[in-house]
Chain A
Amino acid sequence: MIARTLAGGALADLDRDDVAQNPVKISVHDLNMYYGNVRALHGITMDIKERAVTALIGPSGCGKSTFLRTLNRMNDTIPGARIEGIVTIDGVNIYAPDVNVAALRRMVGMVFQKQNPFPKSVFDNVAYGPRLHGITDRAFLEHRVEESLKKSALWDEVKDRLHTSAMQLSGGQQQRLCIARVLAVNPEIILMDEPASALDPLSTAKIEELIHQLRKHYTIVIVTHNMQQAARVSDYTAYFYMGSLVEFGETKGIFTNPEKKETEDYITGRFG
């Protein structure tokens, strides 16, 4: 049965109803984030479940992308960015001083808004991550590349041109290549920052279908501007506004019966 939402999109007809029983993967407690003197996040507290899709929605500049980047510490690369509070993954505080950031990012992969393949061959793009760990065994790499491209539903389209430039693929193919590149390092969590916002509707549908497949094995956190997309792909939805977490809960609940007036206004399009 497919339920309709306030936003007009169909809720995901999830084949598992037990995600609520899944353990917590990421736990965020009273997280504040500053860019210099500007406070970008205000006391975010939320628990993100393992092997489920959590969507972050909200108007532009609401802090959802900033929040996403705190989960793999990509905000470390921004000068002047500072953080307060605790983010734990499997119970380990990722902001503890002895954390190996490179190892963290292997565990927490990221797909960006604009597809950003390297100007290398399809094969070399996917093999980039494994090679970082010093893997040079050709057979192993070939296996890993094939497996990752199959998981990202790109294998059939590129298997005959693994050694041509990734730049020759279409935008949608490039984005799935970027997902394959992330999968090749065996992450447990995948962060997606509006992964389909630069793609046409058909490519977007493919990415959404892919997210649907991946949620069985990975914890996925996705930022999206598209309400229907959030309704279609996610188990949980978090609504951000002005750097604060306004409402967080099961997508079904948020989209059919939100607790807060602001949330309802936003998802029904009366706002922003």
Chain B
Amino acid sequence: MSHAIPLRISQLIKPRTRLEEIFLDILVRIFALIPIGALSFIMFKIIQKGAGVITWEFLTQPPLDGMTHGGIFPCIFGTFAITLLMILMALPLGVAAAIYLVEFAGPGLFFRITRAAVNNLAGVPSIVFGLFGVGFFILFVGRNLDKVLQTGLLFGQPCMLWAAATLAVLVLPVIIVSTEEALNAVPQSQRAASLALGATKWQTIWRVVLPQARGGILTGAILSISRGAGETAPILFTGCAYFLPRLPVTKLFGVIPMINPFDQFMELSYHIFIMATQSLDAVKTLPIQYGTTLVLIAMTFLLNLAAISFRVHFRKKMGTVSV
């Protein structure tokens, strides 16, 4: 029986098992394709319908003719201004909180509560942040500031300041967690070297730990900007406007142009929202919606790209740190 041995081997491999494996193999491949497919579909559709809309005028002009023509420059400006204000508030706070958690907090109850708070903050729906912004920043902080400072109705109304503050609270967990990771990645031996040279704890943090964590912190900051720039719900009630005939700028001392944090503003994601749901003729404004979406997505992609290249750059620059 010359084929006895091959026969026995083929009996060992159950045909059904082989089919099962092929089936599962195909199944996981399909699942893996879903995110790629979804992203490609979204991008294809948006680029197909939006690319033609994007012209120099679209990027530099305000909306015209009852918002059925013209451009989206005030929205681009507003998005830029609000994320700038947001990161100016969120970065120092988030980094400070992370420094506390990594460098100072002992393994006690307070540490565990803070950790849990940060994690839960990340899970709060963004519309809740929007309502929190109205209730806390505008009605509580703002109105009371107005009372104390005798400023009439300056702080106690929706404006860029409070919208940015609301976004800052939203992205705080992103910054805290990424900063914590960056600080933890700095070897303990580096802190020991600095302390042994007679540095105080703060000198060590400032001169050794933070410079080495800079790449990770910046990456977190950029990711939080791209997260914050795309949010609509938190700014819905806290400061963005349907349409503003002017840019939210003012002149400091009457000369230096700067963002006016007490003005309302137009914003890309909110613009898409109102164009799709509130405009007089949603079909007529469809090209504008696609164009605005494309601009928003392109901004977010660019920011993510910047975050990735930062990370690569800093990894190269740090070289191999002895642990």
Task: Give A contacts to B, CB under 8 Å.
Answer: 72, 74, 77, 79, 102-106, 109-110, 112, 114-119, 128-129, 132, 165, 167-168, 174, 178, 181-182, 185
Closest chain-A Cβ to B104's Cβ sits at a distance in Å of: 12
In angstroms, Cα B323 to Cα A168, docked, is: 15
Per the CB 8 Å criterion, the residue count for chain B at the interface is 25
Which A residues are in CB contact (< 8 Å) with B189? 112, 114, 116
User: Cβ of B197 and Cβ of A119 under 8 Å apart?
Assistant: no
- 19 pairs, CB–CB < 8 Å, chain A vs chain B: A74-B192, A74-B195, A77-B195, A79-B107, A109-B196, A109-B197, A114-B322, A116-B189, A116-B192, A116-B193, A119-B212, A119-B319, A119-B321, A128-B207, A129-B198, A167-B320, A167-B322, A181-B193, A185-B197
- Contacts A132-B203, A167-B321, A168-B319 hold; do A116 and B190 have CB atoms under 8 A apart? yes
User: Cβ of A112 and Cβ of B193 under 8 Å apart?
Assistant: yes
User: Cβ of B198 and Cβ of A102 under 8 Å apart?
Assistant: yes
User: Cβ of B199 and Cβ of A102 under 8 Å apart?
Assistant: yes
Closest chain-B Cβ to A107's Cβ sits at a distance in Å of: 8
- Contacts A102-B198, A132-B199, A132-B203 hold; do A178 and B193 have CB atoms under 8 A apart? yes
Closest chain-B Cβ to A62's Cβ sits at a distance in Å of: 21
For residue B61, CB closer than 8 A to chain A, the reply is no
User: Cβ of A105 and Cβ of B212 under 8 Å apart?
Assistant: no
Binding site secondary structure of chain A = helix
Across chains A and B, the number of contacting residue pairs, with CB separation under 8 Å, is 71
User: Cβ of B106 and Cβ of A119 under 8 Å apart?
Assistant: no
**Binary interface encoding of chain B residues 309-323 relative to chain A, with 1 for a CB under 8 A from any of its CBs, else 0:** 000000000111111
Give A107's nearest chain B residue, CB to CB: B198
- Contacts A116-B187, A118-B208, A119-B212 hold; do A105 and B196 have CB atoms under 8 A apart? yes
User: Cβ of B193 and Cβ of A118 under 8 Å apart?
Assistant: yes
User: Cβ of A117 and Cβ of B322 under 8 Å apart?
Assistant: yes
In angstroms, Cα B192 to Cα A72, docked, is: 12
**Binary interface encoding of chain B residues 289-323 relative to chain A, with 1 for a CB under 8 A from any of its CBs, else 0:** 00000000000000000000000000000111111
Give B193's nearest chain A residue, CB to CB: A116
- Contacts A115-B322, A119-B318, A167-B320 hold; do A103 and B198 have CB atoms under 8 A apart? yes
Closest chain-B Cβ to A266's Cβ sits at a distance in Å of: 28
- Contacts A114-B189, A114-B323, A116-B190 hold; do A74 and B196 have CB atoms under 8 A apart? yes
Kindly identify, within residues 177 to 198 of chain B, every residue whose CB is under 8 Å from any CB belonging to chain A.
Answer: 187, 189-198
In angstroms, Cα B320 to Cα A117, docked, is: 11
Which A residues are in CB contact (< 8 Å) with B190? 116, 118
Which A residues are in CB contact (< 8 Å) with B195? 74, 77, 105
In angstroms, Cα B197 to Cα A64, docked, is: 21
Task: A114-B323, A132-B197, A132-B199 are known; give 12 further A-B pairs, CB within 8 A.
Answer: A74-B195, A109-B197, A112-B189, A112-B192, A116-B193, A116-B322, A129-B198, A132-B203, A132-B207, A167-B320, A167-B321, A185-B198
Which A residues are in CB contact (< 8 Å) with B144? none
